[in-house]
Structure 1
Amino acid sequence: MNRLLIESNGIFIGEYEKSQQADIDRKIEEINAAETTLLSIYEKHGVFHVRWDGKARKKSIRVKDIDRVKDIEVGSIPKAAWRAASWQK
């Protein structure tokens, strides 16, 4: 698995879904398509991570809560930014 670390102006702002090599280009496109959302989340909540929520079928944007015991959802990646997975092509 690969970690996709996101930077803005040289500052680490978050991590996108862990991915197989075959999905890296697609996820980079998703990051670019969701740039406004991701920057807004970082400005409001700080460093985030994006994970697939299979139950809710969405790409959840999460941050550590103050006591670092659990993550809390603060947003999601708009479906318009999603790209087809490598196994769907």
Structure 2
Amino acid sequence: MLAENKKATCGREKNSDCVVEVELTNDRINIDINSKIKNLFGKQMEKAVRDVLEEFDVKGANVTVRDFGALDFVIKARTKTALRQALKEVQ
């Protein structure tokens, strides 16, 4: 169990990029996608985040993605980096 929530952010507010904020919790996984194209690609964006969380065996996290036209591999990379930073704080 985490003593307190650990938070980390990765990314830039530039075209073809995204900002991912990960907050580790003892709770369940919540993913919030903020994107102009959420109606079209929201499910794929959420799947990209969930794939990374599963890869790291994370059971509780609040993840916010602010999308500026990022492709899936960018979302995954930003999520991995933010998650590694948050996990580093826990250790």
Q: TM-score, normalised by structure 2?
A: 0.33
Task: Please identify which structure carries the higher strand content.
Answer: 1
Which of 1 and 2 has higher RCO (CA within 8 Å, sep 6+)? Answer: 2
